[in-house]
Amino acid sequence: MCRLRRFLDMHISSRSTAMKNASRRATPPPAPATGTLPNEITLALGANLKKLRLAAGKTQVALAYDAEVERSRISKLEGGHINPSVMTLATLCYSLGTTLPVLFEGIVTTNAPTSEGGSLRRKNQAVLNKPTALTKRHARRS
């Protein structure tokens, strides 16, 4: 009985020490800043999508059904809260009876690469540190 008691005391004490150490661990460093959504581009795209959807006389539910996407995705697209793929946009255009150039009409904003001051587009984006010689060589070719 005495051995069992010592074993339990040691086990309980080591677990509580491990739990204390776990709570003392440093918090992980913050993730690098990424482009925040909505931004100027996604807001303009969402406004165009909503305008085209209303012109087609469709609800978000009807468009989502026709394009085979979730209704909440249509809402997020129109609000500029997600960055859709070109294939998703092409499917939405088909369902609305329009084309990609019409969907992007009036959007003139561009996004600089990260190495030139632009923000990260996603959390796991690789960042290229461009050497100046390469940049100069590339500029001469243009």
| Statement: residue 98 has pLDDT above 80 | yes
Query: 63: which residues sit within 8 A by CB, 6+ positions away?
Result: 53, 56, 74, 92, 95, 96
Most confident of the following: 27-41, 72-86, 117-131: 72-86
Domain segments of the chain: what residues? 40-103
Phi, psi of 43 (to 5 degrees): -65, -45
- For domain 40-103, is the CATH number 3.40.50.300? no
- Supply the mean pLDDT for the chain: 82
pLDDT band at 73 (very low <50, low <70, confident <90, very high): very high
